[in-house]
């Protein structure tokens, strides 16, 4: 059993920017020479999420639209009263969607579906440089 930990550095525009990181994660797996195991992808920070979607233009509009209805950017958040940073919505979206994802891999390939991409979604209200941990555990 082997463990390998790497970090991706990703420039984001914030405001529900959805970024496909599948290729970068697969590249880390390729370089590891590992064949079988689990890949954990973790967004470092509490205003972004890692999940999977079909990365296509419709969903890139639908997801921000639905989240804006469920957890509006401009609403009363106690977090904003505390810090005045205006990103209470971003913390809540991140907590609900989640900050990490486990993807099994086999024969050196992530076991994602053809229409399933790994995405980082940045909910913060400004552009950010994001760190994403990618940790492989396997053989
Ligand atoms: Zn905040």
pLDDT at 91: 98
Q: How far is the CA of 125 from the centre of ligand 1 (A)?
A: 9
| Beta-sheet strand order (sheet of 117-122) | 17-20, 117-122, 48-53
What separation in Å is there between the alpha carbon of 98 and the centre of ligand 1? 16
pLDDT of residue 63: 98
**Distance from Cα 22 to the centre of ligand 1, integer Å:** 27
Tens of pLDDT, residue by residue, the chain (139 residues): 999 999 999 999 999 999 999 999 999 999 999 999 999 999 999 999 999 999 999 999 999 999 999 999 999 999 999 999 999 999 999 999 999 999 999 999 999 999 999 999 999 999 999 999 999 999 9
By C-alpha distance, which of 138, 96, 88, 94 is closest to 120? 94
Tell me, in angstroms, the distance from the centre of ligand 1 to residue 44's CA. Answer: 14
Predicted pLDDT at 136: 98
| Cα 126 to middle of ligand 1, angstroms | 11
Query: Per DSSP, what are the bridge partners of residue 117?
Result: 53
């Amino acid at each position: 059993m082997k463990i390998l930990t790497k970090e991706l550095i990703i420039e984001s525009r914030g405001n529900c920017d959805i970024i496909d990181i599948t290729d970068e994660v697969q590249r880390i797996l390729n370089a590891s020479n590992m064949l079988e195991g689990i890949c954990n992808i973790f967004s470092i920070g509490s205003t972004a999420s890692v999940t999977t979607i079909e990365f296509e233009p419709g969903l890139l509009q639908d997801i921000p639209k639905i989240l804006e209805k469920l957890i509006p950017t401009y609403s009363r958040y106690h977090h904003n009263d505390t810090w005045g940073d205006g990103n209470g919505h971003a913390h809540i979206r991140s907590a609900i969607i989640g900050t990490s994802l486990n993807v099994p891999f086999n024969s050196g390939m992530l076991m994602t579906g053809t229409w399933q991409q790994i995405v980082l979604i940045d909910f913060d209200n400004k552009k950010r440089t994001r760190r994403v941990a990618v940790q492989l555990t396997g053989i």
